[in-house]
Amino acid sequence: MGCGICSRISTLQVIFCTKKQDLIIRKCSDKSTYLRAEKARLGCGICSRIRVRILRFRLNIENKIPGYYGWVIVATSFLTLGIAFGVWYSFSVLYIAIIKDFGWQRATTAGIFSLFTISHYLCAFLTGWLIDRFGPRLVIPFGALWLATALNLLTRVHNIRDFYLIYGILAAIGVSLIGFVPHATFLPRWFSRRRGLAIGLAMAGVGVGMLTIPPFMQRLISQFGWRQAYRILAIIVLFAIPINLFFQRRDPAQIGLQADNRKNDSQPKIPAKTNAQTDAAAHLEQPDANQTKHSSIDAIIIDPEWAAANWTSLKALKTSRFWYLAGGFFLGPFAIQGVLLHAVAGLVDGGMSAEKAAATFGLLGICGSVGKITLGFFGDRWNRETANTVGMAAATLGVAALAMVKLQPHFLPFIFAICFGFGYGAVAPLFPAIAADIFQGEHFGRIFGLLSLNLGFGGAAGAWFAGYIFDQSGSYLTAFIVDIVVLWLSCGCFWRAAPRKIRLSRK
């Protein structure tokens, strides 16, 4: 085959392998036989040898990992989410830079982020379907490439229309493909008993991304300008491609396991020969149904009839629980995104420098990571509603501190960062866990995609509302008071949805 263009295309093909190729590999009775056949077919060129090495690594990686492979999925998701939400929340420092550069009003500029949030979650149903259909191993690398391209295009814009198009729509599509929605779709498949903790650990990457990327971007913007800063950010995004290509997997059934490392005797990692190969391979294509059968092993079923139902998108839409979830998913982000987007600007208005405000925002991010892990853990130990209520109480204290930051600009910013960061950390692990407790099943990706539309519309409305209130009154005080009220309305919606009345995690 040689080392020409065809060989390079072949190398890319093995990296972006399809479901059919995965099935062929799993049907082989001997991995070494498959490798020898591929080596003979490809010849002995340099690129062909690279392909064989990549393939050998890919075939053996699950066996080289000690312990349950689900924790590798958690680590991979942690890194990916750190990159995705580092991009998301770096807009809080870009927001100030482009206002100074172009002189736009705050509501107009916040509208860019509002469109970004809406576009992000309008893609949620499609993203959920893509994850169900192709798996995260293909969807996330494609999304990272798309996002990096969009950020590079952003550095060439000179008017508000192009900002709305490139950041508000194109970058939002990329973040949707690598961010919250895909991970909230496939992570619950890997864990049942420790679902809240596992999702919390993965979502803690959001806080690490907030801790590192916005302050880093603020420093780059101060030294080189926002355009060069976003060129560098585009390069950082590309690192999500290899880690997901090599380590990400659709679900535990793909490698012969069930959730929480329960062995699946009927589904070995390397199936036996002849007809048993075909049966095992066909079984691998139906992971969720198998996991649903065994959900009662690691959960206490309170409502067996509801838990046994085969939930589809249309069926879920006809239930009151779906609409209570939709309300909670709208109201929570209304308050949280309204505060997060305007936090740096509010701190600067309160007397902090832009660099210190960005550093405080980073502290908020790491406190968010602590909140995600802690509240995710207690969501498993208690029930989801109680853990979410604790988070909202802490977030309320944080918003109150931000609203009064002018009274004590040296102390209250840290109260805001610690309390709000910890409290808003409830969203990432508990929202998908609550939805999974209620609508767990084969079509959960699409159901969660529909619910996620409310995350987008709520976040967009909250971000725009806070900017509008500032433009009208010259202060964020009224907006922050409304945000506190909305946080508790969101909390009430989850109590009404009552996942605790369907299933509880075992202690």
* Contact of 200 with 372, CB cutoff 8 Å: yes
**Residue 279 covered by a domain:** no
Residue 504 phi/psi, 5-degree rounding, is -125, 145
Examine the domain organization and report whether 47 and 108 are in the same domain. no
Examine the domain organization and report whether 86 and 131 are in the same domain. yes
Examine the domain organization and report whether 35 and 152 are in the same domain. no
pTM beyond 0.85: no
| Residue 78 CB contacts under 8 Å (≥ 6 apart), including other chains | 201, 202, 204, 205, 208
Examine the domain organization and report whether 500 and 373 are in the same domain. yes
**Residue 100 covered by a domain:** yes
Provide the H-helix boundaries in 404-501: 412-424, 427-439, 444-473, 477-497
Q: How far apart are CA 327 and CA 463, in angstroms?
A: 17
Give the total residue count for the chain.
Answer: 507
Instruction: Tell me which residue range forms the domain holding 37.
Output: 5-60
> In three state form, how does the secondary structure of 315-328 look?
HHHCCHHHHHHHHH
**Residue 259 covered by a domain:** no
**Location of structure tokens 């990159």:** 83
Examine the domain organization and report whether 37 and 76 are in the same domain. no
Give the pLDDT of residue 120. 87
Domain count, the chain: 2
Instruction: Supply the CATH number for residue 188's domain.
Output: 1.20.1250.20
Structure tokens at 100: 């100074």
Distances in whole angstroms, Cα of residue 165 to Cα of each of 98, 119, 143, 217: 16, 10, 17, 22
| Residue 183 CB contacts under 8 Å (≥ 6 apart), including other chains | 77, 80, 81, 136, 199, 202, 203
Examine the domain organization and report whether 135 and 161 are in the same domain. yes
CA 190 to chain centre: 15
Examine the domain organization and report whether 74 and 55 are in the same domain. no
Least Cα distance to 399 among 317, 485, 474 occurs for 485
**Residue 33 covered by a domain:** yes
Residue 505 phi/psi, 5-degree rounding, is -70, 145
* Contact of 439 with 316, CB cutoff 8 Å: yes
**Residue 32 covered by a domain:** yes
Per-residue pLDDT tens, the chain, 507 aa: give them. 444 444 444 434 444 444 444 444 444 444 455 455 555 555 556 666 666 565 555 556 766 777 788 889 999 999 999 999 999 989 888 888 888 888 888 888 888 988 998 898 888 778 888 888 888 989 999 999 999 999 999 999 889 999 999 999 999 999 999 998 889 888 888 887 788 788 888 988 888 888 899 889 999 999 999 999 999 999 999 999 999 988 888 888 777 777 776 654 444 443 444 444 444 334 433 444 444 434 445 578 899 999 899 999 999 999 999 999 999 999 999 999 899 989 988 999 888 888 888 889 889 988 988 998 899 889 888 889 999 999 999 999 999 999 999 998 889 999 999 999 999 989 888 998 899 999 988 888 889 888 988 988 898 899 899 989 999 999 999 999 999 999 999 999 999 999 999 988 765
Give the pLDDT of residue 204. 86
**How many beta carbons lie within 10 A of that of residue 18, not counting itself?**
11
Least Cα distance to 388 among 397, 396, 379, 380 occurs for 379
Examine the domain organization and report whether 378 and 318 are in the same domain. yes
Examine the domain organization and report whether 382 and 364 are in the same domain. yes
**Residue 55 covered by a domain:** yes
* Contact of 253 with 290, CB cutoff 8 Å: yes
**Residue 296 covered by a domain:** no
DSSP 3-state assignment of 271?
coil
| Residue 162 CB contacts under 8 Å (≥ 6 apart), including other chains | none
Examine the domain organization and report whether 51 and 77 are in the same domain. no
**How many beta carbons lie within 10 A of that of residue 278, not counting itself?**
12
**Residue 99 covered by a domain:** yes
Examine the domain organization and report whether 162 and 234 are in the same domain. yes
- Among the candidates 60, 87, 106, a domain finishes at 60
Examine the domain organization and report whether 222 and 344 are in the same domain. yes
